[in-house]
């Protein structure tokens, strides 16, 4: 099938600890995935915690002098957070909920950053309350309003100023954050915001994030521009007074079977070179790179329908379990774990059970033609997979297990879906 891995070596410094630059869907052990599906049912997320640790080790190897933080929103599960913490990464959190999860998973306050994007009052209240117990945590602020709102709450701790660098990168317009006015203070106004913040807070860093999906030359050039601009700004606002310059995440993973793996060392070299001489630690905050290839989604075929154009394989997972194809037109590799040598291939549309046209994982893709009951695996589902799951169509969210077989998140029940509803739900 087309998901077979090529035997050519992948780029990237690969230490024994860091493992290979990418783990392809074809490399997952089919027998093990069959066992897990039999034991826990489908749809089922399977997460390989060892692979999470390898990805962390590879990042630290490529950025030996940098502070590497994990963008928690890619996968917030406790076991993943613990694995990331044990691997020495910090936690970059997008909400009070993520800050709470990071602290609960044992990240010390000085390894926790809260990136507050239009923060709801409740989030600020909570984080300021937790800050009293964890005074070393850092709040990244992207608007002067947020500084005022923090001061009103008595916060005078560590602040990092998020800058809008005016450069975006990413695999889809919805993830190009660098140039979107929603994120960060405009580059030209950053020095005055930093000055203002210095009167009231301990300003420890500058931050920018260009978006999600640095892979090709073009994205790397955009990344280089962003980093260079951040280097300039760091020198302008006072070198030696900043602890770190955080240039964001967005390191890509190859979603297509024949996409090359990201050359992490080239990204690291470009980053260091573009930053130039600054008296502050470089920080990066990848999310998907840490978890994407550590997860697969297993789903079973329940309906097979030949049509003139394509064979529609109806499966028990849908956009409520893995939203990326419907939301970003994202490509995810799909492997039929029951395909035998020489199974017939043809255009296959893998479709979920939701009443939405967008609820397909692929349309007319060349795959081995599935039979009812076959088990399919969807690759690179570890990042923004479970996190974006919803209960639309009253669908309980799927279960998640580790590759070792531990239940990480139980399958949601229908009672769980309706429990907040008046007159509904309950056991
Ligand atoms: C989402 C996000 C990241 C991580 O993006 P990835 O593409 O998962 O690496 C990093 N920083 C910020 C501020 C983000 O919002």
pLDDT digits (tens, 9 = 90+) for 319-377: 999 999 999 999 999 999 999 888 899 999 999 999 999 999 999 999 999 999 999 99
**pLDDT on residue 275:** 96
Closest by Cα among 380, 406, 382 to 84: 382
Architecture of domain 293-416: Beta Barrel (2.40)
The dihedral region occupied by 163, where left means phi > 0, alpha psi between -120 and 50, and beta the remainder, is beta
DSSP structure class, residue 66: S
Determine whether 355 is an active site residue: yes
Q: What would the two tokens of residue 1 be?
A: 């099938």
Q: CATH 2.40.37.10 in the chain, residues?
A: 293-416
* Average pLDDT value for residue range 390-408: 98
DSSP structure class, residue 157: S
pLDDT in tens, 230-254: 999 999 997 679 999 999 999 999 9
Q: How does residue 260 score in pLDDT terms, banded at 50, 70 and 90? A: very high
Chain centre distance of CA 152: 32
pLDDT in tens, 224-235: 999 999 999 999
Ligand 1 proximity of 249 Cβ (cutoff 6 Å): yes
Q: Which region among 84-88, 147-151, 226-230, 339-343 has the lowest average model confidence (pLDDT)?
A: 339-343
Higher pLDDT residue, 230 or 167? 230
Does residue 384 have a known ligand-binding role?
A: yes
* Average pLDDT value for residue range 16-34: 93
Q: How remote is the CA of residue 294 from the centroid of ligand 1, in Å? A: 17
Q: Does residue 116 have a pLDDT over 60? A: yes
Measured CA to CA, the distance from residue 382 to residue 304 in angstroms comes to 27
| Ligand 1 atom with the shortest distance to the CA of 287 | 8
The 3-state DSSP class for residue 378 equals strand
Q: Does residue 256 have a pLDDT over 80? A: yes
Architecture of domain 49-291: Alpha-Beta Barrel (3.20)
Q: How remote is the CA of residue 180 from the centroid of ligand 1, in Å? A: 14
**pLDDT on residue 342:** 85
**pLDDT on residue 239:** 66
154 CB neighbour count, 10 Å cutoff:
10
Average pLDDT score, the chain = 92
- Which residue is associated with the tokens 């390898």? 54
**Dihedral (CA of 51, 56, 61, 63) sign:** positive
High-pLDDT (> 70) share of the chain, %: 92
**pLDDT on residue 8:** 41
pTM for the full predicted model: 0.93
Residue 121 exposed, middle or buried by CB count within 10 Å (0-12, 13-18, 19+): exposed
**Dihedral (CA of 84, 88, 94, 100) sign:** positive
**pLDDT on residue 131:** 98
The 3-state DSSP class for residue 206 equals strand
**pLDDT on residue 238:** 79
Ligand 1 proximity of 71 Cβ (cutoff 6 Å): yes
Q: Does residue 15 have a pLDDT over 70? A: no
Q: How does residue 1 score in pLDDT terms, banded at 50, 70 and 90? A: very low
Q: CATH 3.20.20.10 in the chain, residues?
A: 49-291
Ligand 1 proximity of 288 Cβ (cutoff 6 Å): yes
Measured between its terminal Cα atoms, the distance across the chain in Å is 45
Measured CA to CA, the distance from residue 386 to residue 390 in angstroms comes to 9
**pLDDT on residue 4:** 40
Q: How remote is the CA of residue 211 from the centroid of ligand 1, in Å? A: 7
Closest by Cα among 359, 289, 361 to 330: 361
Ligand 1 proximity of 252 Cβ (cutoff 6 Å): no
């Amino acid at each position: 099938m087309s998901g077979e891995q090529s035997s050519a070596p992948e780029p990237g410094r690969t230490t024994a600890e860091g493992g290979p630059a990418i783990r392809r869907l074809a490399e997952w052990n089919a027998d093990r995935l069959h066992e897990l599906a039999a034991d826990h049912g489908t749809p089922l997320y399977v997460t390989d915690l060892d692979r999470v640790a390898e990805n962390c080790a590879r990042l630290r190897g490529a950025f030996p002098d940098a502070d590497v933080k994990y963008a928690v929103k890619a996968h917030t599960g406790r076991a993943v957070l613990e694995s990331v913490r044990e691997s020495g990464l910090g936690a970059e959190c997008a909400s009070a909920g993520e800050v709470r999860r990071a602290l609960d998973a044992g990240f010390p306050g000085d390894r926790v950053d809260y990136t507050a994007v239009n923060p709801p009052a409740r989030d600020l209240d909570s984080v300021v309350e937790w800050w009293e117990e964890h005074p070393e945590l850092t709040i990244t602020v992207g608007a002067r309003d947020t500084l005022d709102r923090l001061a009103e709450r008595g916060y005078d701790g560590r602040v990092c100023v998020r800058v809008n660098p005016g450069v975006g990168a990413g695999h889809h317009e919805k993830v190009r954050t660098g140039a979107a006015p929603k994120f960060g203070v405009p580059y030209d106004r950053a020095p005055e915001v930093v000055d203002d913040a210095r009167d009231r807070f301990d300003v420890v860093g500058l931050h920018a994030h260009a978006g999600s999906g640095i892979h090709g030359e073009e994205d790397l050039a955009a990344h280089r521009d962003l980093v260079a601009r951040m280097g300039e700004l760091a020198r302008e606002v006072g070198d030696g007074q900043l602890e770190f310059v955080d240039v964001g995440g967005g390191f890509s993973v190859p979603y297509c079977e024949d996409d090359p793996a990201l050359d992490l060392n080239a990204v690291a070299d470009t980053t260091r070179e573009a930053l130039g001489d600054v008296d502050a630690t470089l920080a990066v905050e990848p999310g998907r790179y840490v978890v994407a290839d550590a997860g697969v989604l297993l789903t079973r075929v329940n309906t097979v329908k030949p049509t003139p154009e394509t064979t529609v394989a109806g499966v028990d997972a849908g956009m409520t379990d893995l939203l990326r194809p419907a939301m970003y037109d994202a490509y995810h590799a799909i492997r039929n774990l029951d395909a035998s040598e020489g199974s017939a291939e043809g255009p296959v549309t893998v479709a979920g059970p939701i009443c939405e046209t967008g609820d397909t994982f692929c349309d007319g893709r060349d795959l081995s033609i599935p039979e009812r009951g076959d088990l399919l695996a969807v690759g690179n589902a570890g990042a923004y997979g479970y996190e974006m799951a919803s209960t639309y169509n009253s669908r309980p969210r799927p279960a998640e297990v580790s590759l070792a077989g531990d239940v990480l998140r139980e399958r949601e029940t229908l009672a769980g879906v309706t429990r907040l509803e008046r007159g509904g739900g309950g056991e």
